[in-house]
Amino acid sequence: MRNSNEIIDDIANREYEFGFTTNIETEMAPVGLNEETIRFISAKKEEPEWMLQWRLKGFQAFKKMQFPKWQHFEMPELDLQKLSYYAAPKQKKKLNSLDEVDPELLATFEKLGIPINEQKTLAGVAVDVVFDSVSVATTYREKLKELGIIFCSFGEAVRTYPELVQKYLGTVVPHSDNIFAALNAAVFSDGSFVYIPKGVRCPMELSTYFRINAENTGQFERTLIIADDNAYVSYLEGCTAPMRDENQLHAAVVEIVALDHAEVKYSTVQNWYPGDKDGKGGIYNFVTKRGICKGNSSKISWTQVETGSAITWKYPSVILQGDDAEGEFYSVAVTRNKQIADTGTKIYHLGRNTRSRIISKGISAGHSDNTYRGLVQVGPRAANARNFTQCDSLLIGDRCGAHTFPYIESRNSTATVEHEATTSKIGEDQIFYLNQRGIETEKAVALIVNGYAQEVLNQLPMEFAVEARKLLSITLEGSVG
C-alpha cells in the first residue's frame, strides 16, 4: 500500500482528464458587451424582432444591477467587457446524419465518451449537443417527432415554435431575476428546448452535453422545458470544459414548467475544469435554475452531482404552486484543491398539501470550501405542507471548510418543516474495519464516500450513475491523510 502522502501528491497533481482543445474554426463576436453585441448575436441567429426586444429588456435590467455580496466566498473580479459573447463552430450547413458532422468534432465527443453514436453506445439516449453554445447535432429527432415531442435547439424553437417560446420564456426566471440571469437573457447564444405534449411519457432520457471550447468566451445557454398535462420527461445535462488558464464564466438559465400531473426529472453531472491545484483557472459556474409546478399534483425533481468548476454557485429551485405538488432536490457536491461550492436549493410552498424533500451531501477536501445554502418557504395558503431537509458534510483534511446556511420561513401552522445537518470526517474506525478486511485505504475511502452519497446517486438515471460514481472516486481517492 502506498503511503497516504504519495497518494495525496498523486491526486493533487492529477491533470484534468478532459483538458484538450479542439481545433475547429470558431466564429467569434467582437469582445465586449453593449447593445451592438446583442444585435449582432440576434442577427447572427436570424431571430425575430420580439426575441431581440426581449434580449434588450434583459440588457437594460442588467445595466441597473450589481453583483451580490451575500455569498460565502470572495467574489472574483469579473470583467464582463473582456469576454466574447458569441462563439459558434464555423459550419452552417444543415445536418441530417452524424456522417456529415466534422470528424474532429466527433472525435472530441468520442474522447468525452458521449453516446452520440447510437449504434456503439447505450441505446435510448437522445443527445442535443451544445458545443460552445450552438446546437450541432440532434439525434433521435424523428422518433420523438412521432410522439409530438419537441426537442431541439433554442434557436430553432424561436424560429419554428415562436408561440410556445413566447408563452413560457421568462415566466419562471424573469429577465430581471438576478444579474447573471439578466446577462443571460441579453446574450444567450443557444440552448435546448423541450416540449412534451399532453399525456405523453417521453420514452427515452433526453440529454444535452455542454462543452466550453473557445478561449475567452462565456457560455450562456438557455434551456426551457415544458411538460404539459400528464406528461413525463427525464432530462440529463452533462458538462465539461477544456483546460484554460483564464477563468471562464458560465451563466446559464434553465426554466422548467410542469402543468397538471406532469413530472420532470432534471439530472446534472457537472465536471467543468476546476482550475489547477493553486486555484488558477477554472470555470465560474453561476447558473440560475428554477422550475415551477404550475399544475396540481405535478412534480419537479433536481438531481445534481457537482465535481468541477472553480466556483459553483447555484440554487436549483422549485415553486410549488399547484395543490399536491411535489419538489425534490438531491445533490452531491465535491470540492478539492481551491474549489468553491456555494450551492443548495430554494423551495417555495404555495399550494395546499405540497411536499418537498432535500438531500444534500457535501464533501470537501484540500483547501476547498463547500457551502449548502437553502431556503424553504411555506406560504400562508400552503396548508399541510411538508418538508424534510437533510444536509450532511464530510471533511477530508484539516484545511477545508464545510458550511450549512439554511433559511426556513414558515407562515402556516399546519405545515411541518424539518431540517437536520451534520458535519463529520470519515471515521478512523470505518477505515480500520475495511483495512482489516483487506481493502486498502484508497479504495476504502471511495467505498465510504460512495456509500455516503448513495442516496443521491440512486436518483440518477443508470448511465449517469455509472459516470458519477467514476467521477467521485477519481476526485477523491487517496485524499485521506
Partner 1 sequence: MSEKSFYEFISNGVPGPEQKVNADNAIMPARKLAFSRFRELGLPTLKTEEWRYTNIQRYLKDAFTLAQEEEGTVTAAQISTAGIPHLDSYRIVLVNGRLQTDLSQIPANGKVTISKISDAAGNTQLQAWFDKHPHLQSQPFAALNAALFADGLFIEVSANASLDKPLHIIHTYTASANAFIQPRHLVLLHKSATLEIIESSLGLNDTAITFVNTVTEVVLEENAELWHYNLQSTIKNSRHLSHTSTTQKADSRYHHFNFTLPAAEMTRNNLSVALTGSNTETNLHGLYLATGQQHVDNHTFVDHLVANCNSNELYKGVLLDNANGVFTGKIHVHQDAQKTNAFQQNNNLLMSEKANINSQPQLEIYADDVKCSHGFTVGRFSDEALFYLRSRGIGEEAAKSLLVNAFAFDITDQVHIPALQDFLAEKIRQYVAGAINN
Least distance CB 364 / partner 1 (angstroms): 9
Report the distance separating Cα 58 and Cα 116, nearest Å: 34
Piece of the chain touching partner 1 by CB under 8 A; list 59-67, 167-175, 388-396, 445-453: 388-396
Q: Among 403, 430, 450, 461, indicate the residue that binds partner 1 (CB under 8 A).
A: 403
Nearer to partner 1, 261 or 386 (CB): 386
* Residue 354 near partner 1 by CB under 8 A: no
Piece of the chain touching partner 1 by CB under 8 A; list 134-142, 167-175, 347-355, 420-428: 420-428
* Residue 415 near partner 1 by CB under 8 A: yes
Least distance CB 384 / partner 1 (angstroms): 10
* Residue 397 near partner 1 by CB under 8 A: yes
Least distance CB 287 / partner 1 (angstroms): 23
Nearer to partner 1, 40 or 67 (CB): 67
From its phi and psi, is residue 282 left (phi > 0), alpha (psi between -120 and 50) or beta? left
For the chain, the distance separating the N- and C-terminal CA atoms, rounded to the nearest angstrom, is 14
Contact 26, 213 (CB under 8 A): yes
Nearer to partner 1, 405 or 452 (CB): 405
| Bridge partners for 329 per DSSP | 302, 358
Q: Among 393, 441, 475, 479, indicate the residue that binds partner 1 (CB under 8 A).
A: 393
Binding pattern to partner 1, positions 55-84, x when CB under 8 A? ---------------x--------------
Q: Among 28, 106, 408, 474, indicate the residue that binds partner 1 (CB under 8 A).
A: 408
Nearer to partner 1, 173 or 391 (CB): 391
Piece of the chain touching partner 1 by CB under 8 A; list 93-101, 250-258, 390-398, 449-457: 390-398
Nearer to partner 1, 198 or 381 (CB): 381
Nearer to partner 1, 174 or 397 (CB): 397
Residues that bind partner 1 (rule: CB under 8 A) add up to a total of: 34
Q: Among 419, 435, 443, 455, indicate the residue that binds partner 1 (CB under 8 A).
A: 419
* Residue 402 near partner 1 by CB under 8 A: yes
Piece of the chain touching partner 1 by CB under 8 A; list 7-15, 113-121, 183-191, 410-418: 410-418
* Residue 395 near partner 1 by CB under 8 A: yes
Piece of the chain touching partner 1 by CB under 8 A; list 56-64, 278-286, 416-424, 442-450: 416-424
* Residue 452 near partner 1 by CB under 8 A: no
Q: 470: exposed, middle or buried (C-beta count within 10 Å: 0-12, 13-18, 19+)?
A: exposed
Least distance CB 407 / partner 1 (angstroms): 5
Least distance CB 408 / partner 1 (angstroms): 4
Piece of the chain touching partner 1 by CB under 8 A; list 22-30, 145-153, 399-407, 431-439: 399-407
Piece of the chain touching partner 1 by CB under 8 A; list 186-194, 247-255, 397-405, 435-443: 397-405
* Residue 424 near partner 1 by CB under 8 A: yes
Q: Which residues bind partner 1 (CB under 8 A)?
A: 70, 380, 393, 395-425
